[in-house]
Chain A
């Protein structure tokens, strides 16, 4: 059956509905659980095995030894592709993903963040 103007009813009904989009950033939809956002590193758990660095596809993560059995982690958020392979590779669960996704910076240097005893994922 051929029916011209097949979409007309739908169009009229949409006219009275509220918009399908959100007025971001005032309104937010929230990220699903398990969303792969910015990484989090817990220095106490790390044993310095460097498996995360070995598997990272982009070379975004660096683990440095700062003292005996103490490690700090430096992540280049500009290089990171948020694949969470490092999280899978870490045998001690020292790395986790968070739902934080608004990571743009005006200064390129601020994209390199450091996790250690004092610094919790801020630029140095």
Chain B
């Protein structure tokens, strides 16, 4: 039961501070958060079901639109699953291009996050600079793929566009610029006292909690859990690339910032290696329209963590079932833990620090046994007996003697 000093504050689903509709219920004692819960489901778009109504080719573009930031992640995870069912051997060059776009996407996502984090703590200068620099990688993505977001690079059995030597040169030039800027941000993040003071010790998630709550991506890695699908279960070209899994042991928002900026450097290293080692050859294999019956699960390390796709086919042109578990769903559980015993003022940055994407995560939810007490269904007859007993016990109202008396009269 709640303490009488506790105040429950609902945030959202429509709230000026929130960028997406989601609902938080925060219990406050003074300025301190004693409990919090996240309720999602306001952005459910029914994409998984819609996939069953469309062909595999059409699904690619729908799946890509699960998220505007990690669109390549979802499209790749889906393609990988379908390719596994169909037993397609994707050409090496295509795998390298997938990794290249994946890393460029990570760079743009992490720079975007850095800006958002700056904004949430009131450091808008950082937002302006990182977003200006992010344009460099957005331009590169649109040069390579034909669009700034929703790149449309994947197809079942490979990629749709090749990389020309001229484009590769542009990418390398951009990576040089970005690397120089990122080195500057690393200095800012590790030397600027205001940032360190503001973010250290905020949103603490211990290693034990990170593991037991199943945190993924930079959220887990900042708590010292070296969990990265690119290393644990290499896909695309990652098995042949040389990179480190960045972890820290600070377990707070500061650590999550450091992990992300250092990961940028790893991405630049990988992009250079990809462009150096990319093999010649075809970029697609012919994929059948009808995918044989089967099922496959596929994992992908999106910028926010592990993205999981499951596809089941039934031998037709359309999938039988598609299931998506976006990284935010894995991380959102940890938010309540991170907020425990923290001040209300930490809430925006703690939520922002998992880099949430609620529309990716949203699903329809059935709430069973809501509330704190266990609920159960009581049949009418049971309630009838209970009510009689309760009055006997508490109010001393008992009809049994009267009943006996009347029974004699009427001979029941």
Contact = CB atoms under 8 A, between A and B. Distances in A.
A48 B58 CA distance: 20
A20 B146 contact: no
Interface in B13-50: none
Given A7-B188, A85-B61, A55 B129 contact: no
Interface string A1-20: 11111110011000000001
B191 A3 contact: yes
Contacts of B125: 7, 11
A89 B55 CA distance: 14
A4 B193 contact: yes
B400 interface: no
A2 B188 contact: no
A1 B57 contact: no
B193 A88 contact: no
A83 interface: yes
A2 B194 CA distance: 10
B147 A36 contact: yes
Interface residues of A, number: 29
A57 interface: yes
B62 A57 contact: yes
A60 to B, nearest CB: 11
B143 A2 contact: no
Interface in A57-100: 57-58, 81-85, 88-89, 97
Contacts of B146: 32, 34-36, 84, 97
Nearest to A3: B191
B139 interface: yes
A1 B191 contact: yes
B341 to A, nearest CB: 27
Interface string B101-142: 000000000000000000000000110010010010001001
B191 A6 contact: yes
A56 B60 CA distance: 11
A81 B149 CA distance: 12
Contact of A10 (B129, B135, B139): B129
B96 to A, nearest CB: 19
Given A32-B142, A57-B61, A82 B132 contact: no
A88 B155 contact: yes
B240 interface: no
A34 B161 contact: yes
B283 to A, nearest CB: 12
B196 interface: yes
B152 interface: yes
A34 B191 CA distance: 42
Contact of B58 (A33, A55, A84): A55
B54 interface: yes
Contact of A36 (B152, B191, B194): B152
A83 B126 CA distance: 34
B208 interface: no
A83 B161 contact: no
A84 B135 CA distance: 24
Nearest to A5: B192
Interface of A: 1-7, 10-11, 20, 31-36, 54-58, 81-85, 88-89, 97
Query: Which 7 A-B residue pairs are closest in the complex by CB-CB distance?
Result: A57-B58, A6-B192, A36-B146, A57-B61, A32-B143, A3-B191, A20-B132
30 contacts: A1-B191, A2-B191, A3-B191, A3-B192, A4-B192, A4-B193, A4-B194, A6-B187, A6-B188, A7-B129, A7-B188, A10-B129, A20-B132, A20-B135, A31-B142, A34-B161, A35-B142, A35-B147, A55-B55, A55-B57, A55-B58, A57-B54, A57-B58, A57-B59, A58-B61, A81-B61, A82-B147, A84-B146, A85-B57, A85-B152
